[in-house]
Amino acid sequence: MTKTSITLPDIAAAAGVSKSTVSLALQDSPKIKPETKRKVLKAAKQLGYVYNRAAANLRRRSSEIIGMVINDLTNPFFAELAVALERSFTDSGYVVMMANTSEDMQQQEKVVRTFAEHSAAGIVICPVFGTSYEQLTSHTMKGLPIVSVMRPIEGNACDFISPDNIAGSQAVTAHLLVQGFTRLAFLGGIDNTPVYESRLAGFKAAVSKAGIAMETCEILPCPPTREAAAKLIIERAKQGPLPEAIVCYSDVIAFGVTFGLDRSGFKAGKDVAVTGFDDIQGCNVFSPSLTSVHIYTDQLAKLAAESLISRLKDPERPISNQTVMPKVMVRESSILNK
Amino acid sequence: MTKTSITLPDIAAAAGVSKSTVSLALQDSPKIKPETKRKVLKAAKQLGYVYNRAAANLRRRSSEIIGMVINDLTNPFFAELAVALERSFTDSGYVVMMANTSEDMQQQEKVVRTFAEHSAAGIVICPVFGTSYEQLTSHTMKGLPIVSVMRPIEGNACDFISPDNIAGSQAVTAHLLVQGFTRLAFLGGIDNTPVYESRLAGFKAAVSKAGIAMETCEILPCPPTREAAAKLIIERAKQGPLPEAIVCYSDVIAFGVTFGLDRSGFKAGKDVAVTGFDDIQGCNVFSPSLTSVHIYTDQLAKLAAESLISRLKDPERPISNQTVMPKVMVRESSILNK
DNA sequence: CTGAAAGCGCTAACAC
DNA sequence: GTGTTAGCGCTTTCAG
């Protein structure tokens, strides 16, 4: 809380006008004479006035606060997404309060409630898997507009923006198949989560379209961290010949796999083809550079902001699901160079 | 803004008590009979009441909001720090509004002002280099408590928490020197910034203590990104024999250097010893695993929260600078294994 | 222990 | 164009 008790009346007194004139002037209302405005602005600046938005919001019964809830900021992909989202909203004049949930449902419920208590106009969220609108709003913040990004909220009750995971996964798998690999693996991601299921579905679709039996392929889920992926592939390497190509659930997984392969005496892009998903910044500055699926994070963020802002303006608009078509970025890791 | 117009009077009516009794009950005041409290809580829950903190703060003339301002969330080190900071503050019952500045001074001034307008109780910031308290508070938010982390605010006007960069850098350089390297380089970081100067000073101190002439060493600053570091070392590699060991300004730089060396036909940890700084999560899941300087991010975050909270309680307390002693984590990248 | 009344800083009709 | 007046939802003396 700023100590300053400089308020509208103070400015009014200094400028020799009334409280409401000051209010109008500060909002740059056309009802106020330019000269008066100048006088008011000058007095405000002189006195070191700090606008009190909470008071204004209270009176106006609306706010420009957007609550942003991110599942895991230490995951570089979500950090990139968070930054893009923040920019999209601030570009539209909103201010975003941001919170990290560390994939913790309790924490998530808590921060959403806190945002609601601070009169957030709406929420943009990468929800913890398994989140439903009901629990998110605790039956008590009904009508709080929410848009989810990347991961859907159960029950289809919220606007949702995501990449076309199936198409992206299918395309990157096809890119591998074209090279003649027949023993593939899909590695990483958490079983029974929507993103995992979609990316896996794309993988399977490509494989079966290529006329390859799924039995020759391996499916190895694991938590979305470098450590987990590394551990998994190291164990796997001990158990016999590796697949020729590994489609990873995400770039983070792919980095872990690359590391694990190295520890097991194999090289990604040489002994085994590896692909990622998300196309985060690091992909290009990594040896081997990582083939990945670019999902247009900035575009996702832009759509999320547009979607939420539209809903704020028209709460009755039908719920919308928007999908962005990704693009395969071929780099070294997927082209074997023996 | 939550649509709900459920307010204290509504609950009061439902529970058959007065507005103020409800307020007290909600705050769990000892002045209210347990039975009454139960009645009130029940009514509140039934009606789907959402506490309005903005209104409460307005009346109480204080708030539990902390504004967190981070220079670059896409840098994994700062993302880790941000998460740690957020946790420290929320653990103490504060709610943090977070904003990313992308190292943009204008953006930084804007978000600090916005936080002030939202009645933030204080600010925790990783400032853009060159930030002064004066400009941050625009001469108008005087007295807004600010604690800076990692990077100092000019003029020593704010509490400041940081690792002992000199000691950390000196220690990791010494670790290299002990192995007998004589041609070292200090790579990365932005010239004339305090963190750079400190880390470079530690490097120089170790070198001169080892009786080595600084002339045999190279100093190659560059922006703190993987890309910039990679580009720099690739250029450098073309110009003649590389140093035997490279002390990097940060882990991000070290990752870039490792990549660039690889592109130039050299291996970190084999042809050239490389060390990082910050000890971010990736260090262990990287080939070669990266020797780094662990700076106890959680501890920095904890001190930052304590420091800011103390100041909120006692605005007159003297400004404090706290330093945390880092620790060298020796891994593969710095032990040549030819 | 509970109620009545005042007011935080601001906006928004509605007068003048 | 500008001033008056009445609150937004809450906390907090102060009575009772």
Closest residue (CA) to C1' of nucleotide D8 is A59
List the single residue in B2, B98, B281 with the smallest CB-CB distance to A141: B2
pLDDT of residue B338: 61
- H or E segment and range at residue A148: strand A146-149
- Show the low-confidence residues of chain B (pLDDT under 70): 1-4, 338
pLDDT at B2: 44
Inter-chain CB proximity A54 and B287 less than 8 Å? no
SS (H, E, C) chain B: CCCCCCCHHHHHHHHCCCHHHHHHHHCCCCCCCHHHHHHHHHHHHHHCCCCCHHHHHHHHCCCCEEEEEECCCCCHHHHHHHHHHHHHHHHCCCEEEEEECCCCHHHHHHHHHHHHHCCCCEEEECCCCCCEHHHHCCCCCCCCCEEEECCCCECCCCEEEEECHHHHHHHHHHHHHCCCCCCEEEECECCCCHHHHHHHHHHHHHHHHCCCCHHHCEEECECCCHHHHHHHHHHHHHCCCCCCEEEECCHHHHHHHHHHHHHCCCCECCCEEEECCECCHHHHCCCCCCEEEECCHHHHHHHHHHHHHHHHHCCCCCCCEEEECCEEECCHHHCCCC
Distance A1 CA to D15 C1' (A): 32
Is residue B118 a contact partner of residue A54, using CB atoms and an 8 Å limit?
Answer: yes
* Residue B141, CA atoms < 13 Å, CB-side half-sphere: 29
B40: Cβ under 7 Å from strand D?
Answer: no
Nearest CA in chain B to A71: B83
Whether the CB-CB separation of A252 and A76 falls below 8 Å is answered with yes
Which positions on chain D have an atom < 7 Å from some protein CB?
A: 1-13
The CA-based dihedral angle spanning residues A337, A329, B280, A84, taken in that order and rounded to the nearest 10 degrees: 170
Nucleotide nearest to A24 (CA to C1'): C11
Q: What is the mean pLDDT of each run of 10 residues along chain A (338 residues)?
A: 72 92 92 92 92 94 95 96 96 91 95 94 97 87 93 94 98 97 97 98 98 97 98 98 98 98 97 98 96 98 98 94 98 88
Tell me how far apart the alpha carbons of residues A49 and A26 are, in angstroms, rounded to a whole number: 11
Q: Would residue A28 be called left, alpha or beta, if left means φ above 0 and alpha means ψ between -120 and 50 degrees?
A: left
Place of tokens 């780099």: A331
Residue B313, exposed/middle/buried by CB under 10 A (0-12, 13-18, 19+)? exposed
Question: Between the CA atoms of A41, A44, A48 and A51, what dihedral angle is there, to the nearest 10 degrees?
Answer: -90
Tell me the CA end-to-end span of chain A in Å, nearest whole number.
63
Give the chain B residue whose CA is nearest to the CA of A120. Answer: B1
Two structure tokens written together for B287 = 């080939």
Q: Which of residues 85 through 144 in chain B touch A, CB cutoff 8 A?
A: 86, 95-100, 102, 113-114, 116-121, 139-144
Distance CA B163, CA B144 (A): 24
pLDDT of residue A141: 83
Q: What is the dihedral of CA B301, B302, B303, B309, to 10 degrees?
A: 110
What's the CA–C1' distance between A16 and D3, in Å? 12
For residue A291, which of A178, A213, A196, A201 has the smallest C-alpha distance?
Answer: A178
The amino acid occupying position B328 is V
The per-residue pLDDT for A3 is 44
pLDDT in tens, B257-307: 999 999 999 999 999 999 999 999 999 999 999 999 999 999 999 999 999
Q: What are phi and psi of B132, to 5 degrees?
A: -115, 160
CA separation for the pair A40, A22 (Å, rounded): 6
Measured CA to C1', what is the nucleotide nearest B7? Answer: D9
Half-sphere exposure in the Cβ direction for B283 (13 Å, CA): 26
Q: Is the CB of A52 under 7 A from strand C?
A: yes
Cα(B116)–Cα(B172) distance, integer angstroms:
41
Answer whether A81's CB lies under 8 Å from A149's CB.
Answer: yes
**10 Å Cβ neighbour count for A338?**
6
pTM of the model: 0.95
The reported pLDDT for the residue numbered A140 is 79
| pLDDT given for residue B142 in this prediction | 82
Nucleotides of C under 7 A from a protein CB: 1-5, 7-13
CA A85 from chain centre, in angstroms, equals 7
Report the alpha-carbon distance of residue B140 to residue B90 in Å, rounded: 28
Measured CA to CA, the distance from residue A284 to residue A333 in angstroms comes to: 11
Tokens of B76: 């994994």
Given this model, what pLDDT does residue A4 score?
53
Nucleotide nearest to A22 (CA to C1'): D2
How far apart are alpha carbons A296 and A81 in whole angstroms?
A: 10
Q: Which residues contact B215 (CB under 8 A, 6 or more apart)?
A: none
List the single residue in B with minimal CA-CA distance to A256: B285
Contact at 8 Å (CB) between B229 and B260?
yes
Determine if the peptide bond prior to B288 is cis (ω within 30°).
Answer: yes
| Distance between CA atoms of residues A67 and A145, nearest Å | 10
